[in-house]
Amino acid sequence: MTTVLSHAPMGAHYTKKKEAGLPVSIQGSGEAALAAKAAGASDAAQILSLTGVTKTFGATRALDGFTATIDKGEFVTVVGPSGCGKSTLFNIVAGLEEPDPGCAMRFEGNSVIAADLLGRVSFMPQRDLLLPWRTVIDNAILALEVEGAPRKEARALAEKMLPEFGLTGFGQQYPHQLSGGMRQRVALMRTFLFKRDLMLLDEPFGALDALTRTMMQRWLLDVWQKHQRTILFITHDVDEALFLGDRVLVMSARPGKVKLEQKVDLPRPRPAEIVISPEFIRLKRTLLEAIEEEAMKSFTAEGK
Amino acid sequence: MSATTLQSPATRPGTSPLVTALFRAVRGLAILLAVLAAVEGLVIVLNVKPWYVPRPTLVLNAILATPEPYVQGFLRTLTETLMGFTSGAIFGVGIAIVFFRARVLRELIFPVFVVSQTIPVIAFGALVVLWFGNTLIAKAAISFYLTFFPVTVNALLGLESVDPRQEALMRSFGASRFQILTRLQLPAALPQIFVALRLASALSLVGAIVGEWFGDTVGLGVLLLQGMYNENVVAIWAAIAMCALLGTGFYAVVAAAERALVFWGAEQ
């Protein structure tokens, strides 16, 4: 196995004591260990820590004691069966929904409530949600405009970013003139231009065809390494989670909590063929087993 | 990078908008002329008395013989219509925003609006003349009265149909309510607002003409009344033709503005 540290993204905080690849349960008894680890780690390295985040909608409990920490510069992917509360988790971290009382959230070293996070996390929802009356450039600068940046400067900034997002020459086009993959890249560009340390991506490639999807994944890794952001990425695709992430959090069926935390010690930059390497497949097996179990749970729960 | 980036930016299909607009205008004019020619022919062939339907050329001649009252009337009624339409549109959208924001106000005031709209405009017109006299304002007020309500209803509908996920995204950027209104909700409501404005363009003209019936000396409504009192059928038809010209022209302008502003169509 290759060493992790040489390929770790900048600022990532790795603990070497745990054998990589060993699933680390952080539920139940593991929670205490995690809390200890969180307390031990320096605040500077952590961008976000969630402890016991719970959310109930009427009679349904979407999240139940979700606990995780994310280090600066890390790429963390979250996988789970459908309806496991992934989107609820993201809405909370984006500041759109308050969790139930009694949980602790820390952001950049400070204790926060969800509403404090509004405007401090760059959030990209599942659908591109581009405004049809705005050009590609103007859609990309929407968040900058909200922040009060002068339009002219923001546009110049976006114009410079077009090639990197594969949108050269499309700056003045309207969303309805673009393909699905391009629209998604405009939405990503909007997210990147909203310069926040933590980026939340909610299944950004879910609606794309398989080929475009792999292209976009590789491209996202390039852009991430260049821009040095922390990314929390939701997906239901195990391959995607492993290919992209430094760490994969597997969520349990509803109510959602962390079932398994899997460190991904694959070297970076990751070539496309890595998905057929024995190491990748070994990790995939571990994840699939965990997910399968949860998927069955939610499947039988729905059948009732 | 995916292959999609390789293709050149797509150009909009079809010819330039100006050419399309010109084509539409010419086509419309041709149809109008054909219909008029057919009426002319039928009136002659069937020997219809001018009392019922005068020949279109007769009507045209009447207008051309004394063009001043028609031109003056046209301009006067146009002014009243524009005043009523503009104030009605602004008030309608404004009050829709207020209702959208403040549910309590909406529940209190909206029923009053509905009741106001059930009062026939004629009954209301007498009151307006008492208040404002035989002024331009009086006609504009009646025109306004007919205009604002459909605009309010449609603008409210448009504001309420904004995708909540889009609003959530704006909030996640830290947008204020005002920013969400100007950058998301109002533009998103624009297609609905224009549905109302097209309707309002016709209604505001009706308001202006009815307003003139309560007493005035200039205007298309006045010409209609004069034609009626003098039993001058040709004059009535001439006034009707001018009203049609004004109404159609105004509608065309509003529709053109809609095509230019709401270019993205029904997407999302």
ipTM field: 0.76
Within an 8 Å CB–CB cutoff, is residue B163 touching chain A? Answer: yes
Which one-letter amino acid corresponds to residue A189? M
Which one-letter amino acid corresponds to residue B143? S
pLDDT (average), residues B120-148 = 87
- Provide the CB-side half-sphere exposure for A156 (13 A, CA): 5
pLDDT (average), residues B137-143 = 91
pLDDT (average), residues B232-243 = 91
Phi-psi region of A261 (alpha: psi -120 to 50; beta: other; left: phi over 0): beta
pLDDT at A293: 82
Structural domain spans, chain A: 5-121+196-303, 129-194
pLDDT at B8 over 80: no
- Give the CATH number for residue B96: 1.10.3720.10
Residues of chain A whose pLDDT is less than 70? 1-44, 301-304
pLDDT at B87: 96
Phi-psi region of A148 (alpha: psi -120 to 50; beta: other; left: phi over 0): left
pLDDT at B268: 41
In a domain, B34, yes or no: no
Chain A neighbors of B179, CB-CB under 8 A: 146
Pairwise CA distance, residues A122 & A125, whole Å = 10
Number of domains in chain B: 1
pLDDT at B6: 37
What are the tens digits of pLDDT across the range B81-112?
999 999 999 999 999 999 999 988 888 888 88
Query: Which carries the bigger pLDDT value, residue B152 or residue B216?
Result: B152
pLDDT (average), residues B123-152 = 88
pLDDT at A44: 59
Within an 8 Å CB–CB cutoff, is residue A214 touching chain B? Answer: no
In a domain, B139, yes or no: yes
pLDDT at B119 over 90: no
The answer to whether residues A198 and A39 touch, using CB atoms and an 8 Å cutoff, is: no
CB contact residues (below 8 A), chain B span 176-195, against chain A: 179, 183-184, 187-188, 190
Within an 8 Å CB–CB cutoff, is residue A181 touching chain B? Answer: yes
Which residue in B has a C-alpha nearest to residue A117's C-alpha?
B172
* Closest in A129, A167, A215 to B165, CB measured: A129
Q: In what order do the strands lie in the sheet with A122-124?
A: A122-124, A198-202, A230-235, A75-79, A247-251, A258-263
* CATH T-level assignment (fold) for domain A5-121+196-303: Rossmann fold (3.40.50)
Within an 8 Å CB–CB cutoff, is residue A142 touching chain B? Answer: yes
Test mutation, A92, A128, A142, chain B, max B CBs within 10 A: A142
Tokens of B33: 């002329």
- Provide the CB-side half-sphere exposure for A79 (13 A, CA): 26
In a domain, B233, yes or no: no
pLDDT at B158: 93
The residue range of the domain holding B194 is 78-215
Within an 8 Å CB–CB cutoff, is residue A127 touching chain B? Answer: yes
pLDDT (average), residues B245-251 = 93
In a domain, B179, yes or no: yes
pLDDT at B192: 93
Strand partners, A251: A258
Of A79-83, A161-165, B14-18, B62-66, where does mean pLDDT reach its minimum? B14-18
pLDDT at B134: 83
In a domain, B140, yes or no: yes
What are the tens digits of pLDDT across the range A130-178?
999 999 999 999 999 998 889 999 999 999 989 888 888 999 999 998 9
In a domain, B248, yes or no: no
Tokens of A157: 């900034």
Chain A neighbors of B192, CB-CB under 8 A: none
Give percent of chain B above pLDDT 90: 53
Handedness of CA B49, B55, B61, B64 (dihedral sign): positive
* Closest in A143, A145, A219 to B1, CB measured: A219
Q: What is the pTM of this model?
A: 0.77
pLDDT at B5: 38
pLDDT at B88: 95
In a domain, B16, yes or no: no
